[in-house]
Each structure stands twice: as C-alpha cells, then as structure tokens.
Chain A
Amino acid sequence: MSLIHKTAAELGRLVASREASAVEVTQAHLDRIAEVDSKVSAFLHVDAERALEQARTVDERIANGDRLGPLAGVPIAHKDIFTTDDMPTTAGSKILEGWRPPYDATVTRRLREAGLIILGKTNLDEFAMGSSTENSAYGPSHNPWDLSRIPGGSSGGSSAAVASFQAPLSTGTDTGGSIRQPAAVTGIVGMKPTYGGSSRYGLIAFASSLDTPGPFARNVLDAALLQEAFSGHDEFDSTSIDAPVPPVVEAARQGDVAGLRIGVVKEFGGEGYQPGVLARFHETVDLLESLGAKVVEVSCPTFGYALPAYYLIAPSECSSNLARFDAMRYGLRVGDDGTRSAEEVMALTRAAGFGPEVKRRIMLGTYALSSGYYDAYYGQAQKVRTLISRDFEAAFHQVDVLISPTTPTTAFPIGERADDPMAMYLADLCTIPSNLAGNAAISVPCGLADEDGLPVGLQIMAPVLGDDRCYRVGAAVEKAFTDRWGGPLLSKAPAL
C-alpha cells in the first residue's frame, strides 16, 4: 500500500520507527497534491518547500532520539481560517487576500509542536459561511466521489483533501455543521468537539459562541489522535474549558456499544430526507442493535426551531465579528486615492471585499440586533437556544448518545442551490442543534445511497465533554461496516 493510503496512526508509527522518513511521507502527499488537486481544488495554498523543511526537522529530531507525539511526521492540511505565521490566511475572502498573520492559531501551534507537517491551507466558504465551498472567493472545491458535486462546507477543502488522499488529516471548524456535513458527503470522519474543548484563538471568527475547531480523518482513531493533539485548555481563549481532555483515543480504540443506550432523534427523518439517506440510517440502527446497543426513539421537540434560531444568532455575531475588516490595518483597501474619507474607504472596501452570502448575513445580523428588534429576534433566539440545551439534557438522562443522519441528502451538484439560500441552509438541519447546545457530535460513514451511489453520514451526538462517547460508538460502527463492506467506504470511491 502506498504511503498516501495509510492511516495517520500508521504513518506516525512508521516515522517514529524510522521505517519511513517524514520527508518521504510528506513528499508522497505533495506528489498526490500535484497529481489531483487541479481537479479537486482542495487547497488555496501549498508550500512544498516549507513542508519538506518541517519534515526534515522532524526526521532529525527523531534521529536524535527526541520522543515526539504519535502524529509526528504526519502531514496535515489546515482550513484557511486558522492563522499560520508562515503562510497566508484568507478565510476564503477577497478582503484578506495576501494577508500574512504575524501569529499562529493555538490549534496550528500545538500541531506544529506535536510534529505534524503543514502541507498547506484548504478552501472554504467565505468566513465559513456556507455548506458547499461555493461561497469561497477563490472558486469551489470538488467532491472526489463526483467532481461535479460539492464536497460540503464550509470546511469543504479540508474534507476533499482527506477524501482524495492528498492529506491523511485536516482541520476544520464547525459553526452549524461545517465539519460534520462535509465529512458525511465525502465519506470520511469529521468531529465537532464540545464547544470550549478546542481553542478558538487564531481561528478567524464567524460566530464566536458557536465556532468549534475539529478534526477530519479517514478513520475514527485518526480523528481522535488529531483531536487529542490540539485540544485542552488555552489561556488565550476565555471560553476554553479548563478540564481534562475526554479520553477520545482510548474510546476510539475500544469501539464497542454493548449495553449502551442509543436514542434516535424522532424529529430528524421523513419529509425532505433523501430515501437513500434514510435507508442507510435505518440499516445503521439495526446494526447498532445487533451489536448489543439498546436503541430507543427520543423526542426533542425544540430541535425544529434550531435552524431559525441559528440564522439569527450566527449572523448577529458575524455582523459584529466582521466589523474589523475596515481597510485600516490589514487586508484589502479600495478607493484610498486621497480624496475619500476613512468612512468612504471602509464602505468601498467592504462592498468590494465581501461576497454576497457574507453581506446577506451581516445585514441579517445587523437587523436582528438593532434597537426595537433585539428582543423579538436575537433575544428570542437565545431563549430557543436554552430550550434546545434542555431537550439535550433531558435526552441524555434517557440515553448515552443520540443519533441521526448527518445531513438530509447526499452531496448535491455544484450550482444546484447556489441561488437558493434556504435550500442551502437545510443541509445543516440535523447538525445545528449541537452547535447551539455546545455538545459533542461526530459524523462517520454509514454507506452509499442507492439512488446516487454517494456517501451517507451517521451523526452521533454526546453530552458536553462526552466526546469520547462519539468516538466509542463511531469506532464500533466503523469496525462493523468495514467488516461488512470488506474495507473502508473510501475504497469504493472512483479513481481520480
């Protein structure tokens, strides 16, 4: 098996034992990028020289007997919304084109320290607003299963990179489903950790109370190893939780559901869901029962209000978070010809620098926060948010985890929903409640839909700081399906 098809855990072991060098592993992935990324467009920026330099350093340290982490020498791609002090960071926006941050995000820094090799930065919907990468100012990424389809979003470049074997691991951010949905539609594993479990420092903010950094990988254990490597309390993020990282790696190795109580969310299913998605989901429920889990139906009646609440809270926060892009200190500057006032330059820059979806959300949020409307919109949405958290709490009294399809449909064709924001927003129907409540949730592959042969994701939701449960159930499902399918789901993907 070629190096690019190996798991991250295996690559880490090979580098540590010096059976393969970090340089060889990195070069193999750089070759793959050179070979296929012109079709996939997963990356916005690749720095081969810098990656090889980092790989040489890791090899030297290992030769010197330094004990590094289990992922030392393993390449990774970062969503281009995490700052990197040696590469540009654009957030998928024209307004930040060419900006080089003077500092590393905590996630970036911790992974560098763990010896991971940064291949480059991946594409995303502008400022993480979208479900398809079509809102990127730099053009869409493509789904490796069908290049005419979306790889999900907003972290679509990261999912596409991992699904097309250009990187064994990548980072993403999940504000309303932006890790789980892309993972589901590209047939890989994507995890949204508990809010506060991974640091937001250096993550360019979309919606501060929802944004959560998380891992992409082709298998559950690799995702757990990556999450563990960047998680934990960060004094630079006030909302970061000062508690031990849940035992995610142990849970991913354990992978068993015997005696576990699993709740099927009653509200997620039925009309609007693709039959092939529901079929795979029900098959998975049967599988879990056959593995010894007790599966019950659980009602979470407020989940139906999650989408509208989300589309008030997230735009409200974004309208404020994106105010800093004003042409004064960094990024694009338009119209500064000596005749215009600062206000005019700000307005021209923002008009030219932001794409239509970002503008739509800034306007939505500005309206929702404005005097006289605050209580009816933002205030009301916060109340719904509290009710959703209560529904989760009540559910987790009955069951250990909740499950649902990750997304109502498989990957849709590029362009299909581009002019219909509401249809686009529905892609996050099942993922949004966990963002509003801040609990952990993962998407793992559960088969291909019959009608289009495209991947379907299973979402597993666990309580706040119950991230290990996601991995435990995810690993059990992965193991059973791999046995049934005779290999990982991605082995069924067409060659690029």
Chain B
Amino acid sequence: MPYDEALERFEPVLGLETHVELGTVSKMFCGCSTTFGAPPNTHVCPICLALPGSLPVANVKAIESTIRIGLALNCSIAEWCRFARKNYFYPDMPKNYQISQYDEPLCTDGYLDVQVEGKTVRVEIERVHLEEDTGKSTHVGGATGRIQGADYSIVDYNRAGIPLVEIVTKPVEGTDRLAPEVAKAYVTELRELLRSLGVSDVRMEEGSLRCDVNVSLMPRGSSTWGTRTETKNVNSLRSVERSVRGEIERQAAILADGGRIIQETRHFHEDTGATTSGRSKEEAQDYRYFPEPDLVPIAPDPAWVATLKAELPELPSVRRARIQEEWGVSDLDMAAMHNAGAIGLVEATVAAGAPAADARKWWMGELARRANESGTALADLPITPGDVAKVTELVASGALNDKLARQVLEGVLAGEGTPEAVVEKRGLRIVNDEGELSAIIDQVLAGNADAADKVRSGKIAAVGALVGGVMKASRGKADAGRARELILEKLGVEG
C-alpha cells in the first residue's frame, strides 16, 4: 500500500533496539584484543572459546562505558544489579549461553531528544544493558547466505565476547508520518552521542553499531497497539528510514486486506529495501534466564557514578545549540548542516582559522554538491578542514576568487595535493601583475572594437563583455574588479 494511504488509515508505533560494540582494549570477560579485522580465530583464549573450566571476569572499563552511556541518555544507574545467562544453542556462541542482563539492567528510564523537521521529538529509553557479542558465522553455499540451505558454515570467534551495549527505547508513539525520519534521526543522534563519549567507533558497516527496528500499526482512532515485527540487519542510517517506511507499507497492506500481522523477526535487504520473514516469535525459544553464578553483582559506587557524570563531555545536542548561537545560524541551516554531517567539519575548519560563514559556505555548497555527486558522505571526502580553511584564506587575501577556489577544491579532491600545491600546479593564482593584465586587456580591446566603442560612447554596461573577454583570455585568473577599472581607464571613461 502506498505510504500516504497507509498513514491515512493507520498510526505507526516504533521501537528501536541498538547494539553497540564498545571500543574497549580487551573483551568483556577475558584479556583478548577487540581489534577489528584480525585473521579469523586469532583473538581467542580458553575463556572466550568457553573451554571447560574457564571463568569470566567482568571488564570494569566496559561497565564504566555503559554507565557513561546511561548517564548521557539521562538514565538512572542501578545501585546493584547482576548479569544473567541467556541460554540457547548456536554454534557461534561458545558457551551456548550469552552473558547478558535480564531483569536487572545497569541503566533504566532515560531519554534522547531528536530534531525532525524543526520539531523536537523525545524518544524515551527503557534500558541500557551490558552483554557480550557472539562469534561470526559465515554460511557457505546455498542461495541465501543464511544457515538454511548452506553447504557448510565457518565460525570466527574473534568477535565472541566483545562487550556489547544494548539500548532499548520505549515504544515511540505519535510520530505519525514522520516515523521513518524519527527512527533515522534517533539512530543518527545516538551515534553522535556515542561517538562524543568515545565509547565506540559506531561503524554501522562494520557492525559496531547494529539496529533492530520494531514497527506496529494501529488503526486511526484506536489506542490499542498492533502486533509488532522486529526487523534486523538494518546496517545504515538510510536503511533505518527505508525499513520503517517499507514495514509500514507492508503491514498496512495486510491489515487493510483483513489479514493479521505475525509477531516475527524480519530481515532487511539492503539491495531491494524489502524485508523477508525470519523466525517467528511464536515459536521462539525459552531463554531460561537466571542470574550468572560465575560473576559477582555489579554495585557501582555512587561517588564514582557522580564523578563519571561530572566528567561527561559536552553532548552533541548541547554542542549544536552552543555552535548555533556562536555562529548565528538559522534553525533550518543548522538542521541542514546536521543532516549533512557537516557540523564537526565546519567546526574544525573554523578551528583551523576560517570564518564560520565561509567554512559553512564551502562545506554546505561546493563540497556538499561534490559529495552528493559521488555518493559519499561529506566526512569521507578526501579533503581536510585544514585544506578548506586554507582555501578560504587564499580567497580572503585576494589570491583566489570563488571560481578559482572551486578549481582548487577540485584539485585537492582529485588527489593533487594541498591547496597551495594545486594552485601551483594548475597555475591558478589571480593575475595581479599589472603589466600582464594590461597586455591582455589591450589584446581584448583590439579584438572587440565594437564593444569598446559602445563603452566610449557612454554605454558603460557594455564593459561586462570586455571584462568577460579578459577573464576568458586569462582563463579565469584575472582579478575581474581590477580588469574593469583598467579597461575604463584605457577607454578614458569614468567608472
């Protein structure tokens, strides 16, 4: 069913579960490295391979990071809580239980405010808890890359036992047609918050930030929530948005036909934007949670928690408000910068000496356009804030005009070196040599006698064509203002 029609008939309720791999040096319960990309099964030991007799010891740094995340999300921190075992058999989980938290999470009842189309939406956080990641299975052969139908599977336990924080929202109601945007804005904001805390590298493509999206629909006018589905494998911000939209359309079509939604896990497919059915929750396993007897309860000292709170860095939303004030930017421009991921870049460019307005102009103008063209994120363009600051400096000093500056940026992006190097190589400096400029003008005047006559006869507006000729002849390097002055002077006309 088309999205607009779906929204006319139904109201969506959202829920988001986000898993974040913490960037601790060692794993959650052993001393193994957490570095991504090592050869398979090299970051393993008796503990994370669950050899008989081995025991877990909790990583205090991971507990600290979880508390900091909870504090940044305005949560209450438990004075006493325990790990719990979540029991189920799966080959990539060495113990065949996951050490997680169940009814005693470390952090509860917080919120995160996000901005969508100039509106503030408060997403309430139900819980933030700490657990361990599983290994990574690769299913070889078969059509789907899933375990069903595969010829064989191989398991890499490097990831097994990496600390994982799960952040679960309360159901988000009242988003209406903005549900996809709210979901995306929430994950974006959360990612920035986690990055600012320095607790994770939050790379969705490497799986260090993973998102499960819950969607249910209720008919307009009803206050009873519908059955929800949980979409997994949503691996980019764009996919978060697409999966919510797609799921609203899919569920609306079923409900409109008088069907019923099955409570199930669905898999998102990046290529088609569609979801397919995974295992049904109705046949879901009983995880037989019970308190982990190999670990002692976590009882964070309130003084320590207070210190962690006092030492939290400036959070992204606070920082944005401050920057907006400092730079005097409109809400709309600020939102545009935020969505483009440009705030940090502009800030760094300002820090490198550029005026805020100029820094913003280049990042949100020329560079945003080029990023868009090449389908890359602004931050991934091969240019540094220092380069951009240098370009603004060259413009301010009169060494470049905007047109030349764009060519310099193009050169930097093409890998031709620093802005100075590009200016040098491409010979882009504005022609300031009066002699050279004068010669070019003489040449242009000689070739455009008609226009010169018009100017002489008082039609000053005709000088534009002559200046254009000079710019063309100098391949854009002439200072247009100076050229105009010299032309008028040579033709004996007062400007």
Contacts and interface: CB of A to CB of B under 8 A. Distances in A.
A102 B54 CA distance: 11
Contact of A378 (B51, B56, B290, B294): B290
A102 B290 contact: no
B52 A324 contact: yes
Contact of B290 (A83, A204, A316): A316
A324 B51 CA distance: 8
A320 B288 contact: yes
B295 A238 contact: yes
Interface stretch (B13-21, B92-100, B478-486): B92-100
B96 A326 contact: yes
B49 interface: yes
A89 B91 contact: no
Q: Which of B46, B53, B97, B153 has the most CB of A within 10 A?
A: B53
Contacts of B56: 238
Given A208-B294, A320-B288, A329 B49 contact: yes
Given A103-B46, A317-B293, A366-B288, A324 B53 contact: no
A202 B55 CA distance: 8
Contacts of A326: 89, 91, 96
A369 B296 contact: no
Majority secondary structure, A binding face: loop
Interface string B259-273: 000000000000000
A50 B85 CA distance: 40
B286 interface: yes
Interface string B276-295: 00000000001011100111
Contact of B95 (A99, A201, A209, A323): A323
B91 A342 contact: yes
B237 interface: no
A335 B454 CA distance: 98
Contacts of A236: 55, 57
A128 interface: no
B94 A329 contact: yes
Contacts of B58: 238
Interface string B46-83: 10011111111110000000000000000000000000
Interface in A235-256: 235-239
B288 A324 contact: no
A201 B54 contact: yes
B283 to A, nearest CB: 14
Contacts of A325: 52
B155 interface: yes
A330 interface: yes
Contacts of B289: 369
26 contacts: A83-B51, A83-B53, A89-B52, A102-B51, A103-B54, A201-B54, A201-B55, A205-B52, A205-B294, A237-B55, A238-B55, A238-B295, A239-B293, A239-B294, A320-B85, A320-B288, A320-B290, A323-B89, A323-B96, A324-B52, A326-B91, A328-B91, A329-B51, A329-B94, A330-B52, A374-B290
Interface of B: 46, 49-58, 85, 87, 89, 91, 94-97, 153, 155, 286, 288-290, 293-296
A208 B294 CA distance: 6
Nearest to B87: A320
Given A238-B56, A239-B294, A324-B96, 6 more contacts: A103-B54, A238-B296, A320-B290, A369-B87, A369-B289, A370-B288
Q: Which of B58, B91, B289 has the most CB of A within 10 A?
A: B91
A84 to B, nearest CB: 10
Contact of A202 (B54, B85, B89): B54
Interface string A306-330: 0000000000110110011110111
A105 B53 contact: yes
A374 B53 CA distance: 26
B104 to A, nearest CB: 14
A155 to B, nearest CB: 16
A250 B480 CA distance: 100
Contacts of B85: 320
Contacts of A201: 53-55
Contacts of A203: 53
Contacts of A105: 53
A44 interface: no
A101 B46 CA distance: 9
A83 B52 CA distance: 8
A83 B49 CA distance: 15
Contact of A235 (B57, B95, B286, B288): B57
Contact of B153 (A235, A342, A370): A342
A35 to B, nearest CB: 32
Contacts of B286: 370-371
B142 to A, nearest CB: 12
A316 B296 CA distance: 18
Contact of B52 (A96, A207, A237, A342): A96
Contacts of B294: 205, 208, 238-239
A163 to B, nearest CB: 26
Which 9 A-B pairs have CB atoms at the shortest separation, nearest pair first?
A323-B96, A208-B293, A369-B288, A209-B293, A202-B53, A204-B52, A324-B50, A371-B286, A83-B53
A477 interface: no
B29 to A, nearest CB: 9
A101 B57 contact: no
A203 B53 CA distance: 5
Nearest to B83: A238
A437 interface: no
B290 A369 contact: yes
Contacts of A317: 290, 293
A325 B50 CA distance: 9
A191 interface: no
B52 A239 contact: no
Contacts of A83: 51-53
B293 A91 contact: no
Contacts of B55: 200-201, 236-238
Contacts of A366: 288
A288 interface: no
